[in-house]
Amino acid sequence: MNHQTEKHIIVTGGAGFIGSHLVELLLKLNYYVTVIDNFDPFYARSTKEKNRSSYSSHPNVNFLELDICDESALSLHLQAEYFAIIHLAAKAGVRPSINNPIPYQQVNVAGTQNLLEFARRKGIKQFVFASSSSVYGVNKNIPWKESDGLLNPISPYASTKISGELMGHVYSHLYGIRFIAVRFFTVFGPRQRPDLAIHLFTKKILSGEPIDFFGDGSTRRDYTYVEDIVNGIVGALHYTSTNFEIINLGNSHTISLKELLSTLESVLQKKANIQVYPEQPGDVSITYSDISKAKNLLAYNPVTNFHEGIQKFIDWFVQQ
């Protein structure tokens, strides 16, 4: 692998849903990418192997199966000079974090600290951190602006993402690392995690299995297509104007759970069999991003609408 420092990037979580799309884009832009993933058993290793098959034989990729919590392994295996770290690796999922919070703290907080320490020691000056819309918690000011402050997170997962942002501020302030936290709003598209609603619903509609439908269907999400998200991440990678920023990456358009279901039924041409349950703890009634800051600072411009994105997801799903 050729090494030009200004073109060599570490991507953590690069075998995941968003990570694999990001690595593909970085390679198209002629970056050298060292990918770190530990194949966390949250979902099947085979799924992640499939995710990364699109880039695994590329000459400009170095793939390392490493755990970000293992500081000595990071130091041992990451010997090159790097321009930036894009840190996507995390224990994911709001609901699972309520049932089992401790590993979320270990991976999302201590793991992020390890990477920041690594960046400090190696003199890496650009750090892009995948945060989440869940940090806003119960926030009545909609659409959500980065300046709203961290009002009331309602899950351990959300609190770990806030911790990551705060730690980034510390390292930015003390060591001059440029830290850009990008808050993702409900990302969807081909390779979406199997535990997420669109993937789960599609699978169950096609197989005729009952769908667990929480609440009355009025909860709304700001669904953002994965290609738009990775373009936003690359925008954050190139951002140099200030040393610390928190930036929403969403679509600024909300879709209700009822609308989601009817869109899937219409594209699949099959009715869903639903079982209604009460709303789940840790879930918020709406996520809705104000993306004016991303447009302004990163020239971010989401172009894929919900229906088009669903069609692309289903085309991919059926091919699988």
Catalytic residue, chosen from 31, 32, 104, 157, is 157
Q: Please report the DSSP string for the chain in residue order.
A: ----GGGEEEEETTTSHHHHHHHHHHHHTT-EEEEEE---TTS-HHHHHHHHTTTTT-TTEEEEE--TT-HHHHHHH--S--SEEEE------HHHHHH-HHHHIIIIIIHHHHHHHHHHHHT--EEEEEEEGGGGBS--SSSB-GGG---B--SHHHHHHHHHHHHHHHHHHHH--EEEEEEE-SEESTT--TTSHHHHHHHHHHHTPEEEEETTS--EE--EEHHHHHHHHHHHHH--SSSEEEEEE--S--EEHHHHHHHHHHHHT---EEEEEPPPTT--SB--B--HHHHHHH-------HHHHHHHHHHHHHH-
Going across the sheet that includes 32-37, the strands are 61-65, 32-37, 8-12, 84-87, 126-132, 178-184, 244-249
Residue 157 a catalytic site member: yes
Contact 185, 247 (CB under 8 A): no
Size (the chain), residues? 320
Decide: 315 and 203 in contact? Cβ < 8 Å.
no
Q: Tally Cβ neighbours within 10 Å of residue 29.
A: 12
Residues catalogued as catalytic? 157
